[in-house]
Amino acid sequence: MRFGVCWYPEQWPRSTWVDDVALMADIGFELVRIGEFAWSSYQPSRNRFEWDWLDEAIDTIDNAGLSVVLCTPTATPPVWLTNERPDILSVGSDGRRRPYGSRRHTCPTSSSYRDEAARITTTLVDRYSDREAIAGWQVDNEIGNHDSARCWCDQCQTAFSDWLSNRYESIGALNAAWGTAFWSQTYPDFDSVLLPAPTMTSHNPSLELAHRQFASDQMIGFVAEQFEIIKGRSDEPTTTNFYNEDTTVDQRAAAQLGGVASMDNYPHGPSDPMVTAYLLDLTRGAAGPGGQAWVMEQQPGPINWTDTNPPVPPGQLSVWMWQVALHGYDAQLFFRWRAARHGQEMYHSGLLRQDRSQTTAVVEIRDTMRQLAVADPEKPNPRVALLHAYVDSWAIDINPHLAGLTHRSLQLGPYTAARHLGLDVSIVDPTSDLAGFEVVLAPALHLTTPERLASIARALDAGTLVIMGPRSLVINEHHAWSESPLPGGLSTRLGARVVEHLSQPSSVLVDPWGSDAGIWTDVLDTDDADVLARYSGNSYLAGSPAAVQRESLVYAGFSGGGSWLALLSDLLDLSPHPPDIETFDRVDATYTIDHRKLTVESTPTSQQLT
């Protein structure tokens, strides 16, 4: 694993640079990421570029034997540019332009923004692509974060109409696919399909889903232009980093642009080690087989942007570093080198304090880097796949039917259960090759499409155990309910069908385990399936099937994590370990992280367990 740090030379006196970079080298870092918010320092005015400071910063890094991940600065356009071309600014659903003052306030569709982004990226890459010190490129920063992919400006309205026209070809086809006879919403033409701004009550979910897909496509289209500029000038790896708590842009599509998937890892954002594990596996899955996965920003200490920003006790950072390594990452860069004296992130810790004194993170990073270099753990080779697609998350989050129910929450129950059984998990697209996995988990696989059904059928034919969860195979790609019994397209093979939903917090249990069914339950009728579990408790559902199986296809109607753990434990004949424990079976050793005690242990093994 390669290690590095995120540095902002434009924010610090040049007199500190040589000593700072020398310390980075002394710690053992290889990579220094710079420049992702430096547009006004790159280009202080329309026709003035200032490169002397960046030349010197790169020279300083190079002279110390380190390499540079150089970033395009498009997440933070300079004030002069927004004054000159205000149509680069995005517009909220309230119709108001989003003002400058923070970041990510641009419209990915805006032709002005795309022109200016192409100009600064081309100029930057032309100047530095021949430098030996450049080890990689980062395009933009955390695309989609702060809900920045969606914009309601005039250019987005026009582009949305064009996007719909390309997809449906005729307005009649759109009206039929979206069922616009409902509430007399029949559109006379594509220009009449307005971006979904606030209205009297909820919009047609077909419109909402199309808008989410369009917004993701626009953002991917924007960064794809930046990738193309770099590709034509440099062979170094190129990526765009995601903050995975945000799901508005399809990370898998972005990872395919450059072959490197990267994410920013802030475990105190989700505050649950299993969610961190899930987010790490999500990005590693986006990289695809053989692709690289990087943590471009690793939390080194307390952060400043959650409600509580808890302390990071001794040992915690080491555990986070091990967790990243054991989830199969190729690089890990800490954010940030020195804590800021100005701006929104002053209370965000760095490896150095504002006064340049070293925090304890420096010692902990040095020690853990040494441990990881000795252990050099292998990457995971999972036999379990979890099916995930952004379109499912958009569809369920648009139409949750129950406050608090999210696609993420439906995914986390089965994912966490698998991890508690010690199983590595690949998070993959539903249409990828599934037949090589022993177990496929498909909770909340909401859309039913011919491609997905074919993929699942191939896996079932190969003997893979496919375990579906609630809200699976319900709607088509236009957000219209399946015409077939649910799970749509698989009920015949399952020998059972979903006939009802209990979508409210309840005390329904699942027998034989007596476990909580969770906040969403699908009710099943069986024709020719074995009943694995039944609902119980003080509910009219008591006695009805909760999980059924026919051959290697299983459908579980419950969402509760404890019930999923019991189901997987029975099906796979595995015993769970305590909930704070995360294990990783590798060829030479089994690694155990105790997230409560903040310890990592390895036990040599003589056989391959994965």
Give the CA radius of gyration of the chain: 25
| Least distance between Zn ion and beta carbon 228 (Å) | 21
Backbone φ and ψ of 502, nearest 5°: -110, 100
Segment near Zn ion (CB under 5 A); pick from 22-30, 99-107, 481-489, 511-519: 99-107
Q: How far is the CB of 115 from Zn ion (least distance, A)?
A: 14
β-partners of residue 361 are: none
Residue from 43, 72, 74, 109 in contact with Zn ion (CB under 5 A): 109
Q: In terms of CB distance, is 98 or 327 closer to Zn ion?
A: 98
Measured from the CB atom, is 153 or 547 closer to Zn ion? 153
Q: How far is the CB of 42 from Zn ion (least distance, A)?
A: 24
DSSP designation for 250: -
Residue number with CB closer to Zn ion (152 or 243): 152
User: Of 81 and 440, which has the nearer Cβ to Zn ion?
Assistant: 81
User: Which of 31, 107, 149, 386 touches Zn ion by CB under 5 A?
Assistant: 107
Which string of b and e fits 366-389 if b means at least 16 CB within 10 Å?
eebbeebeebebbebebbbbbbbb
- Applying CB under 5 A, the span of 52-60, 72-80, 104-112, 207-215 interacting with Zn ion comes to 104-112
Using the contact rule CB under 5 A, the part of the chain among 79-87, 102-110, 330-338, 476-484 near Zn ion is: 102-110
Count of Cβ atoms closer than 10 Å to residue 319 Cβ: 21
3-state secondary structure of 534: strand
Residue 590's φ and ψ, nearest 5 degrees, are: -105, 125
Q: Measured from the CB atom, is 137 or 190 closer to Zn ion?
A: 190
CB of 109 or CB of 276, closer to Zn ion: 109
3-state secondary structure of 143: coil
- Could you say whether residue 106 binds Zn ion (CB under 5 A)? no
Is the distance from CB of 476 to CB of 447 less than 8 angstroms? yes
To the nearest whole angstrom, how small is the minimum distance from the Cβ of residue 159 to Zn ion?
8
Stretch that binds Zn ion, among 109-117, 177-185, 365-373, 569-577 (CB under 5 A): 109-117
Nearest distance, CB of residue 102 and Zn ion, angstroms: 17
Sign of CA dihedral 101, 5, 292, 273: negative
CB of 157 to Zn ion, least distance (A): 8
Half-sphere exposure of 53 (CA within 13 A, CB side): 20
- The answer to whether the Cα torsion of 303, 309, 313, 315 is positive or negative is negative
Contact, 82 vs 47, CB < 8 A? no
Q: Which is nearer to Zn ion, 87 or 245 (CB)?
A: 87
Q: 114: which 2 tokens?
A: 């795309």
142 is catalytic: yes
Catalytic residue among 142, 236, 477, 582: 142
Whichever of 156 and 442 has its CB closer to Zn ion, that residue is 156
Q: Which is nearer to Zn ion, 219 or 565 (CB)?
A: 219
- From residue 226, how far is each of 145, 231, 383, 414 by CA, in Å? 18, 9, 36, 37
- Phi, psi angle pair for 467, to nearest 5°: -115, 110
Question: Which residue shows structure tokens 């998937």?
Answer: 261
Residue 15, C-beta contacts closer than 8 angstroms, at least 6 positions apart: none
# residues contacting Zn ion (CB under 5 A): 5
Q: Does 219 bind Zn ion (CB under 5 A)?
A: no
Q: How far apart are CA 543 and CA 533, in angstroms?
A: 9
Beta strands in 414-488, from DSSP E residues, in sequence order: 425-428, 439-442, 465-468
CB of 109 to Zn ion, least distance (A): 5
Q: Segment contacting Zn ion (CB under 5 A): 34-42, 145-153, 477-485, 574-582?
A: 145-153
Select the span of 146-154, 195-203, 287-295, 495-503 touching Zn ion (CB under 5 A).
Answer: 146-154
Return the range that interacts with Zn ion (CB under 5 A); candidates 148-156, 180-188, 265-273, 480-488: 148-156
Q: How many CB atoms lie within 10 A of CB 407?
A: 23
DSSP-based three-state secondary structure for 328 = coil
For the beta carbon of residue 153, count every other beta carbon within 10 angstroms: 21
Question: In the bound complex, what is the minimum distance in angstroms from residue 156's beta carbon to Zn ion?
Answer: 3
Shortest Å, Cβ 229 to Zn ion: 21
Query: Which among 297, 364, 477, 582 is annotated as catalytic?
Result: 297
Tokens of 552: 């290697």
- Cα 150 from chain centroid (whole Å): 17
Q: State in angstroms the smallest separation of the CB of 168 from Zn ion.
A: 21
Within positions 149 to 178, which residues make up the interface with Zn ion, using CB under 5 A?
151, 153, 156
DSSP codes of every residue in 97-116: BPPSSSS--B-SS-HHHHHH
Segment near Zn ion (CB under 5 A); pick from 12-20, 22-30, 101-109, 171-179: 101-109
Residue 134 binding Zn ion, by CB under 5 A: no
CB of 151 or CB of 372, closer to Zn ion: 151
CB of 89 to Zn ion, least distance (A): 9
Instruction: Give the up-direction half-sphere exposure of residue 225: CA atoms within 13 A in the CB hemisphere.
Output: 19
Measured from the CB atom, the residue of 110 and 234 that comes closer to Zn ion is 110
H or E, element range at 602: strand 599-604
C-beta separation of 605 from 589 below 8 A: yes
Give the amino acid at 40: S
Q: Where are the beta strands (DSSP E) in 15-77?
A: 31-34, 67-71
Closest C-alpha among 169, 198, 201 to residue 183: 201
Residues in touch with Zn ion (CB under 5 A): 107, 109, 151, 153, 156
Give the residue numbers annotated as catalytic, written as ranges.
142, 297
